[in-house]
Structure 1
Amino acid sequence: MQPIPYLFFKDTCREAFEAYGRIFGAEPEIMSFADMPVDEAGAMPGMPAEAVMHAALQVGEGWIYGSDDPSGQSPAMAGCNVHVEFATEEETRRAWDLLAEGGEIRMTLEPSFWAPLFGALTDRYGTRWMIGQAPAEG
Protein backbone atom coordinates (compact mmCIF):
# COMPACT_ATOMS: atom_id res chain seq x y z
CA MET A 1 0.00 0.00 0.00
CA GLN A 2 1.27 3.47 -0.84
CA PRO A 3 -0.39 6.78 0.13
CA ILE A 4 -1.24 9.08 -2.77
CA PRO A 5 -1.58 12.85 -2.18
CA TYR A 6 -4.85 14.22 -3.59
CA LEU A 7 -4.60 17.91 -4.46
CA PHE A 8 -7.56 20.28 -4.91
CA PHE A 9 -7.54 23.38 -7.10
CA LYS A 10 -9.85 26.29 -7.79
CA ASP A 11 -10.32 25.96 -11.57
CA THR A 12 -6.59 25.37 -12.30
CA CYS A 13 -6.21 21.59 -11.96
CA ARG A 14 -5.74 20.96 -15.70
CA GLU A 15 -3.13 23.72 -16.01
CA ALA A 16 -1.33 22.52 -12.87
CA PHE A 17 -1.22 18.86 -13.90
CA GLU A 18 -0.05 19.73 -17.40
CA ALA A 19 2.76 21.81 -15.84
CA TYR A 20 3.61 19.03 -13.36
CA GLY A 21 3.71 16.59 -16.30
CA ARG A 22 6.33 18.74 -18.02
CA ILE A 23 8.30 19.15 -14.79
CA PHE A 24 8.30 15.47 -13.82
CA GLY A 25 8.47 14.04 -17.35
CA ALA A 26 5.15 12.18 -17.36
CA GLU A 27 1.84 12.49 -19.20
CA PRO A 28 -1.07 13.33 -16.86
CA GLU A 29 -4.31 11.41 -17.11
CA ILE A 30 -7.14 13.95 -16.93
CA MET A 31 -10.92 13.35 -16.81
CA SER A 32 -13.26 16.31 -16.97
CA PHE A 33 -16.80 16.46 -15.69
CA ALA A 34 -17.87 16.24 -19.36
CA ASP A 35 -16.43 12.70 -19.37
CA MET A 36 -18.93 11.52 -16.73
CA PRO A 37 -21.56 9.00 -17.88
CA VAL A 38 -24.82 10.75 -18.73
CA ASP A 39 -26.71 8.95 -15.94
CA GLU A 40 -24.23 10.31 -13.35
CA ALA A 41 -23.90 13.83 -14.76
CA GLY A 42 -26.24 15.25 -12.12
CA ALA A 43 -23.97 14.06 -9.30
CA MET A 44 -22.00 17.31 -9.29
CA PRO A 45 -24.46 20.11 -10.07
CA GLY A 46 -22.95 23.42 -11.09
CA MET A 47 -19.55 22.04 -12.14
CA PRO A 48 -18.49 23.32 -15.56
CA ALA A 49 -18.05 20.53 -18.12
CA GLU A 50 -14.39 21.46 -18.65
CA ALA A 51 -13.56 21.34 -14.91
CA VAL A 52 -11.32 18.44 -13.90
CA MET A 53 -13.12 15.62 -12.12
CA HIS A 54 -9.94 13.57 -11.59
CA ALA A 55 -6.30 13.85 -12.66
CA ALA A 56 -3.45 11.43 -12.07
CA LEU A 57 0.27 11.84 -12.65
CA GLN A 58 3.04 9.37 -12.00
CA VAL A 59 5.97 11.01 -10.22
CA GLY A 60 8.87 8.58 -10.10
CA GLU A 61 7.47 5.44 -8.52
CA GLY A 62 4.62 7.33 -6.83
CA TRP A 63 1.53 9.21 -7.93
CA ILE A 64 -0.26 12.47 -7.25
CA TYR A 65 -3.98 12.86 -7.89
CA GLY A 66 -6.03 16.02 -8.13
CA SER A 67 -9.26 17.70 -9.17
CA ASP A 68 -10.97 21.04 -9.31
CA ASP A 69 -12.65 21.53 -5.94
CA PRO A 70 -16.40 21.05 -6.40
CA SER A 71 -17.06 23.22 -3.32
CA GLY A 72 -15.10 26.10 -4.87
CA GLN A 73 -13.34 26.56 -1.53
CA SER A 74 -9.91 25.18 -2.43
CA PRO A 75 -8.57 25.31 1.12
CA ALA A 76 -4.86 25.99 1.53
CA MET A 77 -2.56 23.04 2.11
CA ALA A 78 -1.59 24.33 5.56
CA GLY A 79 0.37 21.65 7.37
CA CYS A 80 0.72 19.47 4.27
CA ASN A 81 3.43 19.28 1.58
CA VAL A 82 4.32 17.02 -1.32
CA HIS A 83 7.93 15.90 -0.94
CA VAL A 84 9.96 14.85 -3.99
CA GLU A 85 13.61 13.79 -4.02
CA PHE A 86 15.83 13.71 -7.09
CA ALA A 87 19.02 11.76 -7.72
CA THR A 88 21.12 14.61 -9.12
CA GLU A 89 21.71 18.29 -8.47
CA GLU A 90 20.72 19.09 -12.05
CA GLU A 91 17.32 17.35 -11.74
CA THR A 92 16.72 18.95 -8.34
CA ARG A 93 17.48 22.48 -9.53
CA ARG A 94 15.45 22.06 -12.75
CA ALA A 95 12.31 20.95 -10.87
CA TRP A 96 12.86 23.63 -8.21
CA ASP A 97 13.19 26.43 -10.76
CA LEU A 98 10.06 25.35 -12.68
CA LEU A 99 7.92 24.91 -9.56
CA ALA A 100 9.15 28.24 -8.13
CA GLU A 101 8.04 30.26 -11.21
CA GLY A 102 5.25 32.51 -9.98
CA GLY A 103 5.28 30.82 -6.59
CA GLU A 104 6.49 31.67 -3.09
CA ILE A 105 9.75 30.31 -1.72
CA ARG A 106 9.38 29.33 1.93
CA MET A 107 12.87 27.86 2.41
CA THR A 108 15.62 28.51 -0.12
CA LEU A 109 17.02 25.50 -1.98
CA GLU A 110 20.44 24.98 -0.41
CA PRO A 111 22.63 22.32 1.20
CA SER A 112 21.43 20.98 4.54
CA PHE A 113 22.88 18.55 7.06
CA TRP A 114 20.47 15.82 5.85
CA ALA A 115 20.63 16.35 2.07
CA PRO A 116 22.92 17.88 -0.56
CA LEU A 117 20.03 20.25 -1.47
CA PHE A 118 16.67 20.91 0.18
CA GLY A 119 14.06 23.67 -0.05
CA ALA A 120 10.35 24.37 0.38
CA LEU A 121 7.98 26.45 -1.74
CA THR A 122 4.37 27.02 -2.66
CA ASP A 123 3.86 26.95 -6.41
CA ARG A 124 1.61 29.31 -8.37
CA TYR A 125 -1.29 26.83 -8.04
CA GLY A 126 -1.11 26.77 -4.23
CA THR A 127 0.57 23.36 -3.92
CA ARG A 128 3.19 23.21 -1.18
CA TRP A 129 6.36 21.34 -2.17
CA MET A 130 9.44 20.13 -0.34
CA ILE A 131 12.15 19.47 -2.94
CA GLY A 132 15.38 17.66 -2.18
CA GLN A 133 18.36 15.94 -3.65
CA ALA A 134 18.82 12.43 -2.30
CA PRO A 135 21.98 11.90 -0.27
CA ALA A 136 24.68 9.88 -2.00
CA GLU A 137 24.61 6.22 -1.05
CA GLY A 138 27.53 4.82 0.82
Structure 2
Amino acid sequence: MQLNHYLNFQGETEAAFNFYRSVFGGEFSFIKRYSELPDAQISEKEKDYILHVSLPINPFTVLMGSDTTEQFCAPQSAPFSKGTNHYISINLDADEQAEARRLFDALSENGQVEMALENTFWGALYGAFTDQFGIRWMVNCQLETE
Protein backbone atom coordinates (compact mmCIF):
# COMPACT_ATOMS: atom_id res chain seq x y z
CA MET A 1 0.00 0.00 0.00
CA GLN A 2 1.09 3.56 -0.73
CA LEU A 3 -0.28 6.76 0.81
CA ASN A 4 0.13 9.71 -1.56
CA HIS A 5 -1.08 13.29 -1.73
CA TYR A 6 -3.64 14.11 -4.41
CA LEU A 7 -3.95 17.79 -5.33
CA ASN A 8 -6.90 19.49 -6.99
CA PHE A 9 -6.80 22.70 -9.00
CA GLN A 10 -9.20 24.67 -11.18
CA GLY A 11 -7.50 24.76 -14.57
CA GLU A 12 -3.96 25.02 -13.17
CA THR A 13 -2.98 21.34 -12.85
CA GLU A 14 -0.87 21.22 -15.99
CA ALA A 15 1.10 24.35 -15.04
CA ALA A 16 1.47 23.19 -11.43
CA PHE A 17 2.68 19.71 -12.38
CA ASN A 18 5.09 21.03 -15.00
CA PHE A 19 6.52 23.18 -12.21
CA TYR A 20 6.71 20.22 -9.78
CA ARG A 21 8.39 18.14 -12.48
CA SER A 22 10.99 20.90 -12.98
CA VAL A 23 11.73 20.82 -9.25
CA PHE A 24 11.64 17.05 -8.56
CA GLY A 25 12.68 15.80 -12.00
CA GLY A 26 11.33 12.67 -13.64
CA GLU A 27 8.48 12.15 -16.05
CA PHE A 28 4.75 11.78 -15.67
CA SER A 29 3.81 8.13 -15.33
CA PHE A 30 0.20 8.87 -16.25
CA ILE A 31 -1.62 11.86 -17.73
CA LYS A 32 -5.19 11.99 -19.05
CA ARG A 33 -7.43 14.91 -19.98
CA TYR A 34 -11.19 15.29 -19.52
CA SER A 35 -11.58 15.15 -23.31
CA GLU A 36 -10.49 11.48 -23.09
CA LEU A 37 -13.50 10.48 -20.94
CA PRO A 38 -15.85 8.11 -22.77
CA ASP A 39 -19.00 9.99 -23.89
CA ALA A 40 -18.07 13.06 -21.84
CA GLN A 41 -19.94 16.29 -22.41
CA ILE A 42 -17.17 18.71 -21.48
CA SER A 43 -17.18 22.44 -22.11
CA GLU A 44 -14.69 23.82 -24.62
CA LYS A 45 -12.92 25.60 -21.73
CA GLU A 46 -12.53 22.37 -19.70
CA LYS A 47 -11.73 19.83 -22.47
CA ASP A 48 -7.97 20.23 -21.99
CA TYR A 49 -8.19 20.21 -18.19
CA ILE A 50 -6.31 17.37 -16.51
CA LEU A 51 -8.46 14.41 -15.44
CA HIS A 52 -5.51 12.72 -13.71
CA VAL A 53 -1.73 13.10 -13.61
CA SER A 54 0.87 11.10 -11.67
CA LEU A 55 4.43 12.27 -11.04
CA PRO A 56 6.67 9.72 -9.27
CA ILE A 57 8.87 11.55 -6.79
CA ASN A 58 10.81 8.53 -5.56
CA PRO A 59 10.19 4.76 -5.33
CA PHE A 60 7.78 5.33 -2.41
CA THR A 61 5.96 8.55 -3.30
CA VAL A 62 3.79 9.68 -6.21
CA LEU A 63 2.36 13.20 -6.40
CA MET A 64 -1.01 13.09 -8.15
CA GLY A 65 -3.61 15.63 -9.16
CA SER A 66 -6.48 16.80 -11.34
CA ASP A 67 -8.56 19.83 -12.26
CA THR A 68 -12.00 20.17 -10.73
CA THR A 69 -14.91 20.99 -13.02
CA GLU A 70 -18.57 21.82 -12.61
CA GLN A 71 -19.57 18.33 -13.80
CA PHE A 72 -16.79 16.24 -12.24
CA CYS A 73 -14.80 16.32 -9.00
CA ALA A 74 -16.72 19.13 -7.37
CA PRO A 75 -18.11 17.48 -4.24
CA GLN A 76 -20.97 19.35 -2.61
CA SER A 77 -19.61 18.32 0.77
CA ALA A 78 -16.24 19.96 0.19
CA PRO A 79 -16.28 22.54 -2.61
CA PHE A 80 -12.98 23.59 -4.15
CA SER A 81 -10.99 25.95 -1.98
CA LYS A 82 -7.46 26.87 -3.03
CA GLY A 83 -5.03 25.81 -0.33
CA THR A 84 -7.19 23.02 1.09
CA ASN A 85 -7.67 21.21 -2.19
CA HIS A 86 -6.06 17.84 -1.52
CA TYR A 87 -6.81 14.21 -0.73
CA ILE A 88 -4.84 11.42 0.84
CA SER A 89 -4.80 8.70 -1.79
CA ILE A 90 -4.47 5.04 -0.81
CA ASN A 91 -3.11 3.02 -3.75
CA LEU A 92 -3.36 -0.75 -3.75
CA ASP A 93 -2.55 -3.56 -6.17
CA ALA A 94 -5.14 -5.79 -7.87
CA ASP A 95 -4.69 -8.59 -5.31
CA GLU A 96 -5.65 -6.20 -2.47
CA GLN A 97 -9.34 -5.66 -3.33
CA ALA A 98 -10.55 -6.96 0.03
CA GLU A 99 -8.20 -4.56 1.81
CA ALA A 100 -9.42 -1.69 -0.41
CA ARG A 101 -13.02 -2.46 0.62
CA ARG A 102 -12.07 -2.77 4.31
CA LEU A 103 -10.20 0.55 4.32
CA PHE A 104 -12.94 2.35 2.41
CA ASP A 105 -15.67 1.09 4.74
CA ALA A 106 -13.72 1.73 7.94
CA LEU A 107 -12.36 5.17 7.07
CA SER A 108 -15.65 6.46 5.61
CA GLU A 109 -17.72 5.39 8.65
CA ASN A 110 -19.61 8.44 9.96
CA GLY A 111 -18.21 10.44 7.05
CA GLN A 112 -19.64 11.51 3.70
CA VAL A 113 -19.11 9.36 0.60
CA GLU A 114 -18.37 11.40 -2.52
CA MET A 115 -18.11 8.41 -4.87
CA ALA A 116 -18.94 4.86 -3.81
CA LEU A 117 -16.20 2.25 -4.14
CA GLU A 118 -16.84 0.68 -7.55
CA ASN A 119 -15.19 -0.46 -10.76
CA THR A 120 -14.27 2.40 -13.09
CA PHE A 121 -13.62 2.91 -16.78
CA TRP A 122 -9.90 3.34 -16.04
CA GLY A 123 -9.61 -0.22 -14.75
CA ALA A 124 -9.62 0.38 -11.01
CA LEU A 125 -11.78 -0.21 -7.98
CA TYR A 126 -12.12 3.41 -6.81
CA GLY A 127 -14.01 5.50 -4.29
CA ALA A 128 -13.68 8.85 -2.53
CA PHE A 129 -15.04 10.29 0.71
CA THR A 130 -14.56 12.80 3.50
CA ASP A 131 -14.02 11.14 6.85
CA GLN A 132 -15.73 12.12 10.09
CA PHE A 133 -12.87 14.54 10.84
CA GLY A 134 -13.10 16.40 7.51
CA ILE A 135 -10.11 14.68 5.85
CA ARG A 136 -10.63 13.82 2.18
CA TRP A 137 -9.54 10.33 1.04
CA MET A 138 -9.39 8.32 -2.19
CA VAL A 139 -9.05 4.54 -2.37
CA ASN A 140 -7.70 3.27 -5.70
CA CYS A 141 -7.10 -0.43 -6.29
CA GLN A 142 -5.67 -0.77 -9.78
CA LEU A 143 -7.21 -3.84 -11.44
CA GLU A 144 -5.83 -3.42 -14.96
CA THR A 145 -2.59 -2.04 -16.33
CA GLU A 146 -2.23 -0.12 -19.56
TM-score scaled by length of structure 2: 0.40
Larger radius of gyration: 1
More strand by share: 2
